[in-house]
Chains A and B, each alone.
Chain A
Amino acid sequence: MSAKGKGARRVAIWAGKFFLANVFALVVLSIVGSWYYYGGQNFEAPIANETLDRPEPNSYVSRCVEGRGFARLDANGYNNAFYRERGWDLADVDALLQGSSYLESFQTSENETFVYRLNEAFENGPETLKFYSCGRSSHTFVTSTARYEDALKLFKPKKYAMIECFAVPSVADVEKSLNNDLKNFSGLPTKTKRILKWFRFLPWLHLKYFEGCVKPRLTAQKPAPQDATPEEKKASWTKLARKIRATSDKYGVTPIIFFHIAFGLNQDGTVFPRYDVEELAAFRAVCESEGIVFVDATQRMRREYEENNVWGYGFGNAELVSGHFNPDGHRILAEVLAETIRELDAKEKAKQ
């Protein structure tokens, strides 16, 4: 064989080895990925427009990138471990919770979420209440309110409809919500779903792509300054609040908006709000004037820090004091919401 031929043969053998090495590496990555970052991807279209998308029903989620999260999703694709443990019927819902990844809660164990704790708190009470979460990553207040009626129609809660909010909506946001100007995810083709199931590193790689390439771009895009006047904002919020109220009345539920966001920390250890306090107060006033119960969980979070040094956000393996709820955050929010519901129940009983 000529020198050229020998060289080509060597290159071909090395390329073969390189291919095999990659296959083996991907197998290892898939095994590690099954535990480190798996599940909760946008596999499915929503059942009836209640959310924009949802994870695969009855699948599992395991994540260690922020906290340690494990959940086995229900037949609808949402994180409701208490329903599974008690064998409750998914159609039997007293209080429906809509919201984002804070509510989806893939950062803690499935039995540490605030929805689980709420169920626990009301399981043996004078009146049993069943709380069902259709929380989904990236579903902000705008998405939840846009899909409010669809969610009520589907899950038919008997008493309460609770919507998570972590940013006061802008006029543009409200328009988006009122016009329901949001596209549903149509679901992944079966083949793609199969590939994602077999090659479990793919969601992990996607996460890295998102963190490394997409997130920096999104962070760099500063939101345009809001030029709406306080009156315009108030008018816009009023429209939204009236719609929520009207929909709630139609389905016979009490609407509750619960607001939360992590405080910022000053160098001396004191906290500062990372939101416009006056704007929040104005938004709250509008909601309450329209008969919507407004729960501001931030103050309770602040008190827990100032009195007990407990911080409800962040994890020891990710951002320390920002990010999603940690188990303490879930506990605090569950306590705040439980108190609110007990007060509402007491008022209702007093009326009767």
Chain B
Amino acid sequence: MIFNSLAFAAFILVVGCVLAIFNAKPFLQPERAATAARLRHGVLLVASYVFCGWFDWRFCLALAATTAVVYFCALGVARGKRSKLWLRLGVVLPLVALAVFKYFNFFVSSVASALSLDVEALGTLKIILPIGISFYVFQAISYVVDVNRGKVEASSDFVKVALYLAFFPRLVSGPIVKAAYFFPQLEEKRNVGLKNLEIGVQIFALGLFKKIVVADRLGAFVDTVYATPNAFHGAVVTLAVVTYALQLYFDFSGYSDMAVGVAKGLGYDLPRNFNLPYLSRNPSELWKRWHISLSSWLMEYLYIPLGGNRKGKLRAHANLATTMLLGGLWHGAGWTYVVWGAMHGAALCVHKAFKDWRGKREPAANPSAVSKAFGAVATLAAIFGTFVWMTLSLIPFRAPTFGDAWDIFTRMFVWDDGIYRLYIWTPIYATFLLVASVVAYVVYRKRCAAASPEELEKLRKTGVDAFYPLLDLTKLSHLTLFTTFIYLLFGFAYFGDSAFVYAQF
């Protein structure tokens, strides 16, 4: 049951209607608040397991087992007695589950290929990857670690912990949420409501547009060229490589928006996962804007525990590279993902070395027009360079094998003849993204102009901020705009292969 399906529309309608019952008068009385909250959480938990089991009922078992492990481990950690043992169990056991389901066959086949052995002789497992396991295992680990760090209290309410891991809007592909972010929301009286619905529907519609109008259509082109790169002219292959960068962004950010929208409609908040990543000026900024929930998880629970930059420059570079290597492997059980991670690790190391070499520079108090122009050109060049790097790194990410990646790569630069047919949706949607980015920039400048010095400092740190263009659906003009958008969304929707790219991870 994916977000852009009729089954999900029916599912969310039923869940919304059931939850709306708790807005009735009898449930609003203060003495019944606790019961109502428990019931609401119970409904959401059941809905989440129905959602999970819709893919395959056995996925619920993996999810429930992970929940039971972290629930008891977190309580064990909080109790203080043998807390380190509980912590290790709480981290290792979910990782073992992830390793078995996701990586066992990969490692067996890698060993077999390295030693020229028969894979079948070594033995592989005939298992399917439980939906969302990569995401909820990371959430589970962060919960136990945060309990140990004292950032969040271990909950004795099993339903809360279970809902934290299984909450269906974010189950399939995140965003990865920390317990400290989610638990307080469960303490509040949150439920479906008109205002939440108004916002949630708009965010969901935006995500749906990104997915079914933009990403799926771009994906049709990318799939064709990646399947038969040698049939196409180098220009078409290059266009497909660029198109994949756009497709991946629209697909995953579209999914994230839909997740945020669904959660919002139910009364809950999820963090933003993307912040105009293709406006990044360097690899380090890119990872603060791309898949934010994963990069911040990797930073907090991998890079920093490895020593971060506290143990010398060399160690900091090694930690960065290791983090990105493992981050690459997290995406998929394949060496192409490891290479992708290694490429980003290398880019981050180079950027860090460059920053260390250059040192911190204070901006000039009154820059001349020439230096302003030079600065603008340098910024544009940096944005372009970062985008090109990201795009090139996505070749091994998208290609099934190294051989295929190499075919694509050489085809781009050899510029051999082949079918020459340019896909017009790529420039159209690239322009769309550019215009949206410019609008975001203009809004950002306006906010900067109106901000106090403290706010200004904060804004400068965030860089250009993405935002949801929310309308006031009580106004006729806004309602008309939104209705027209919805009709056009379905008119221009692409109905073909519509699986989310990140759902496979």
Main secondary structure of the interface of B (DSSP, over half): helix
Which residue in A17, A29, A267 is a CB contact (below 8 Å) of B487? A29
A25 & B480 in contact (Cβ 8 Å cutoff): yes
Q: State which of B96-104, B221-229, B342-350 sits at the interface with chain A.
A: B221-229
Do A309 and B227 form a contact, CB below 8 Å, given A24-B483, A25-B483?
Answer: no
Report B185-227 residues with CB < 8 Å from chain A CB. 220-221, 224-225, 227
Is B419 close to A, CB under 8 A?
Answer: yes
Q: State which of B63-71, B165-173, B312-320, B490-498 sits at the interface with chain A.
A: B490-498
Number of A residues near B (Cβ < 8 Å) is 38
Do A267 and B227 form a contact, CB below 8 Å, given A24-B484, A29-B484?
Answer: yes
Do A21 and B479 form a contact, CB below 8 Å, given A201-B487, A311-B419?
Answer: yes
Do A204 and B224 form a contact, CB below 8 Å, given A24-B483, A268-B230?
Answer: no
Is B455 close to A, CB under 8 A?
Answer: no
A18 to B480, alpha carbons, bound, how many Å?
8
With a cutoff of 8 Å between Cβ atoms, the chain A residues found around residue B422 in the complex are 316
Is A305 close to B, CB under 8 A?
Answer: yes
A268 to B229, alpha carbons, bound, how many Å?
7
A269 & B491 in contact (Cβ 8 Å cutoff): no
The smallest C-beta distance from B316 to any residue of chain A, in angstroms, reads: 42
Is B32 close to A, CB under 8 A?
Answer: no
With a cutoff of 8 Å between Cβ atoms, the chain A residues found around residue B420 in the complex are 309
Is A230 close to B, CB under 8 A?
Answer: no
Report B464-493 residues with CB < 8 Å from chain A CB. 474-476, 479-480, 482-484, 486-488, 490-491, 493
Residue in chain A with minimal CB distance to B496: A211
A208 & B220 in contact (Cβ 8 Å cutoff): no
The smallest C-beta distance from A216 to any residue of chain B, in angstroms, reads: 8
Is A205 close to B, CB under 8 A?
Answer: yes
A21 & B476 in contact (Cβ 8 Å cutoff): yes
Is A317 close to B, CB under 8 A?
Answer: yes
With a cutoff of 8 Å between Cβ atoms, the chain A residues found around residue B407 in the complex are 267
Is A314 close to B, CB under 8 A?
Answer: yes
Do A320 and B491 form a contact, CB below 8 Å, given A24-B484, A25-B483?
Answer: no
The smallest C-beta distance from B18 to any residue of chain A, in angstroms, reads: 22
A21 & B424 in contact (Cβ 8 Å cutoff): no
The smallest C-beta distance from A213 to any residue of chain B, in angstroms, reads: 9
Is B421 close to A, CB under 8 A?
Answer: yes
Residue in chain A with minimal CB distance to B485: A25
Residue in chain A with minimal CB distance to B494: A211
With a cutoff of 8 Å between Cβ atoms, the chain A residues found around residue B417 in the complex are 309
A17 to B231, alpha carbons, bound, how many Å?
53
A265 & B487 in contact (Cβ 8 Å cutoff): no
B495 & A215 in contact (Cβ 8 Å cutoff): yes
Is A212 close to B, CB under 8 A?
Answer: yes
B425 & A317 in contact (Cβ 8 Å cutoff): yes
With a cutoff of 8 Å between Cβ atoms, the chain B residues found around residue A18 in the complex are 479, 483
Is B332 close to A, CB under 8 A?
Answer: no
With a cutoff of 8 Å between Cβ atoms, the chain B residues found around residue A319 in the complex are 220, 224
Which residue in A22, A265, A311 is a CB contact (below 8 Å) of B421? A311
Number of B residues near A (Cβ < 8 Å) is 36
A305 to B418, alpha carbons, bound, how many Å?
8
Report A14-31 residues with CB < 8 Å from chain B CB. 14, 17-18, 20-22, 24-26, 28-29
A314 & B491 in contact (Cβ 8 Å cutoff): no
With a cutoff of 8 Å between Cβ atoms, the chain B residues found around residue A215 in the complex are 495
A22 to B231, alpha carbons, bound, how many Å?
46
Report A150-198 residues with CB < 8 Å from chain B CB. none
Is A255 close to B, CB under 8 A?
Answer: no
Which residue in B224, B231, B404, B423 is a CB contact (below 8 Å) of A269? B231
Is A352 close to B, CB under 8 A?
Answer: no
User: Hey, what's the 0/1 contact readout for B405-424 against A, CB within 8 Å counting as 1?
Assistant: 00100000000011111111
The smallest C-beta distance from B428 to any residue of chain A, in angstroms, reads: 9
Is A32 close to B, CB under 8 A?
Answer: yes
A268 to B404, alpha carbons, bound, how many Å?
10
Is A40 close to B, CB under 8 A?
Answer: no
Is A266 close to B, CB under 8 A?
Answer: yes
Is A36 close to B, CB under 8 A?
Answer: yes
B491 & A32 in contact (Cβ 8 Å cutoff): yes
With a cutoff of 8 Å between Cβ atoms, the chain A residues found around residue B220 in the complex are 319-320
Report B65-81 residues with CB < 8 Å from chain A CB. none
Which residue in A33, A315, A316 is a CB contact (below 8 Å) of B491? A33
Which residue in A201, A212, A309, A317 is a CB contact (below 8 Å) of B423? A317
B221 & A201 in contact (Cβ 8 Å cutoff): no
With a cutoff of 8 Å between Cβ atoms, the chain A residues found around residue B483 in the complex are 18, 21-22, 24-25
A321 & B419 in contact (Cβ 8 Å cutoff): yes
Report A246-280 residues with CB < 8 Å from chain B CB. 265-269
A129 to B424, alpha carbons, bound, how many Å?
38
The smallest C-beta distance from B452 to any residue of chain A, in angstroms, reads: 37
A269 to B483, alpha carbons, bound, how many Å?
45
Residue in chain B with minimal CB distance to A68: B424
B493 & A208 in contact (Cβ 8 Å cutoff): yes
With a cutoff of 8 Å between Cβ atoms, the chain B residues found around residue A309 in the complex are 233, 417-420
A268 to B424, alpha carbons, bound, how many Å?
25
Residue in chain A with minimal CB distance to B478: A21
Residue in chain B with minimal CB distance to A311: B419
With a cutoff of 8 Å between Cβ atoms, the chain A residues found around residue B227 in the complex are 265, 267
B488 & A265 in contact (Cβ 8 Å cutoff): no
A211 & B491 in contact (Cβ 8 Å cutoff): no
A105 to B233, alpha carbons, bound, how many Å?
27
A20 to B420, alpha carbons, bound, how many Å?
46
- Which of A28, A29, A33, A269: most chain B Cβ within 10 A? A269
A338 to B80, alpha carbons, bound, how many Å?
89
B228 & A269 in contact (Cβ 8 Å cutoff): yes
A265 to B231, alpha carbons, bound, how many Å?
7
Residue in chain A with minimal CB distance to B480: A21
Which residue in A212, A266, A314 is a CB contact (below 8 Å) of B228? A266
A208 to B488, alpha carbons, bound, how many Å?
11
A269 & B421 in contact (Cβ 8 Å cutoff): no
Report A203-242 residues with CB < 8 Å from chain B CB. 204-205, 208, 211-212, 215-216
A181 to B493, alpha carbons, bound, how many Å?
36
User: Hey, what's the 0/1 contact readout for A104-145 against B, CB within 8 Å counting as 1?
Assistant: 000000000000000000000000000000000000000000
A316 to B221, alpha carbons, bound, how many Å?
9
With a cutoff of 8 Å between Cβ atoms, the chain A residues found around residue B474 in the complex are 14, 17
A208 & B491 in contact (Cβ 8 Å cutoff): yes
A321 to B423, alpha carbons, bound, how many Å?
11
Q: List 23 A-B contacts (CB under 8 A).
A: A14-B474, A17-B474, A17-B476, A21-B480, A25-B480, A25-B484, A29-B488, A32-B491, A36-B491, A216-B495, A265-B228, A266-B228, A267-B229, A309-B417, A314-B421, A319-B220, A319-B224, A320-B221, A320-B421, A321-B224, A321-B231, A321-B419, A321-B421
A-B residue pairs, 6 tightest by C-beta: A269-B230, A211-B495, A25-B484, A265-B228, A25-B483, A21-B480
Knowing that A205-B490, A205-B491, A267-B407 are A-B contacts, what are 18 other residue pairs whose CB atoms are under 8 Å apart, sorted by A's residue number? A14-B474, A18-B483, A20-B476, A21-B483, A24-B484, A25-B486, A26-B487, A28-B484, A36-B491, A208-B491, A208-B495, A266-B231, A267-B229, A269-B228, A269-B418, A305-B419, A316-B423, A321-B421
Give the interface of B toward A (CB within 8 A). 220-221, 224-225, 227-231, 233, 404, 407, 417-425, 474-476, 479-480, 482-484, 486-488, 490-491, 493, 495
